[in-house]
Structure 1
């Protein structure tokens, strides 16, 4: 079970709650590091996710299939809200979302497959890692300096915060981009993530025309390796920064570069 993901989501949520009172009215309107979103829009996004977890909306065929455009749609629906209305939704539904994620750690429902439109299929318990990733990523990389506009300080993220986010990213990596990412991997590639949240995995090519690439734990001895801190992986793996600023490649650079250039975890 991903109890660690649940705790990571709780800690990042508390840290965000501590930051919110320090943001003045004008700062809510600053552009965040998430393209097209203001600081308040990032909170609107997190509030919308929490609201949907508690009160899932009926599917609408007009919704964008692309998950990023879907998030833009939900944020856009809240553009006419006041700052207080956005914050109230986030404050109201986030604790309820955490309760639901805690329930999702219990058997037998923990292993039920859950389809997240545009992102893939995950066991229910892993949805806690999804929230851990979302709150950590938006808080640390979109809102706070140096990447974001808010010159506020939090303690450096530790293993307990980063590891669940990385776990979700690696679970989503084979699913989110489908064939376009599969086509970039024609031989095994080791991804060596260091520091807090660090892990080593091997990305394997798809084994057939109807299969996707896979991510397996450990180092299989592949010639080509990509080395980065896990913290930086959260940033470049989501294209917030360039992988070229953070990664060391050994082996065949072209093999790694075609994969890294295409990777974009949502």
Structure 2
């Protein structure tokens, strides 16, 4: 690959996850494509359609001209409508059509990566007509692909890759928004600290500190007197942060110490994906 060094980690993580997705769905029979996944409202087919659609957009392909049905309960925002377009247009595609299109788009994207010479700060297309840097685009594709790989693994009962390269990109993406979750969304009081103790394949201890002005930061230094300590395993952390499960459903996998009201507010605002 010829991508800029700051993009290489994301390119490698993306490649690992999309190749795993292709391997997971290649042998599926028609009925298995309709299995529900933890991603609200989406089947196995829908997730693969989403992956295909976003990779087509990375390639610069035009978006499909398509009218969405009015009865899609999980589509509640303009962003969701934008994402649903690439999904719904493929809802009646057969298994061979899905695997063939996925294979073709991944070949095209791999060729694009091999020839990538743009700088990380190059502005590229983003959802809803916005722009984002190439580095953000690469990071978000690595994050999105790994999370959806895990959705498929749950639906197909094929666990794995919880510590693959995409898992570490996902960890960093989720940690980056943790100060906002604690300080702004959950309203943690100034001069408090909240500790997150995560075990399993991706293990970490992080402290979110809220300063006197109410701004949050995150670091790896333990706090001697945190207002709240939340302990869980990596898989549960991801499922909560990506909105795949509600806190009440995984109470047996969560250990909470300290201010119960603040802990409840944090968990109520923990899902950060659209």
What is the rounded CA distance, in whole Å, between the counterparts of 1:114 and 1:218 in structure 2? 33
Render the CA deviation track for 1:135-167: whole Å, top value 9, x for unaligned.
Answer: 222222x2224xx2x24x354532534111111
Check if 1:127 corresponds to 2:137: yes
- For the residue of structure 2 that corresponds to 1:34, the secondary structure is coil
Tell whether the 8 Å contact from 1:170 to 1:215 is kept in structure 2 after alignment. Answer: no
| 1:235 maps to 2:235 | no
Within the alignment, does 1:110 sit opposite 2:120 as a pair? Answer: yes
Shift in alpha-carbon separation, 1:159–1:10, aligned structure 2, 3 A:
closer
What's the CA shift string for 1:59-88, capped at 9, x where partnerless?
x9x998543343223311222433333333
Q: CA distance change for structure 1 residues 204 and 68 in 2, over 3 Å: closer, same or farther?
A: farther
Question: Does 2:145 match 1:143?
Answer: no
Unaligned runs of 5+ in 1: none
Number of corresponding residues: 251
Instruction: State yes or no: 1:259 paired with 2:266.
Output: yes
TM-score for the superposition, normalised by structure 1:
0.75
Separation in structure 2 between the aligned mates of residue 111 and residue 94 of structure 1, nearest angstrom: 24
* Residues 133 and 156 (structure 1), Cα distance of their counterparts in 2 relative to 1, 3 Å cut: same
Looking at structure 1, the residues matched to 126 and 172 of structure 2 have their Cα atoms a distance apart, in angstroms, of 16
Q: Distance in 1 between matches of 2:178 and 2:131?
A: 12
CA contact (8 A) 1:101 1:128 kept: no
Q: TM-score, normalised by structure 2?
A: 0.73
Moved more, 13-22 or 121-130: 121-130
Following superposition of structure 1 onto structure 2, how do residues 74-93 of structure 1 map, counting pairs within 5 Å?
Answer: 74-93=86-105
Paired residue for 1:11, among 9, 16, 21?
16
Matched residues in 2 for 1:121 and 1:202: separation? 32
Counterpart in 1 of 2:188?
185
In structure 1, C-alpha distance between the alignment counterparts of 2:271 and 2:113, rounded to whole Å = 25
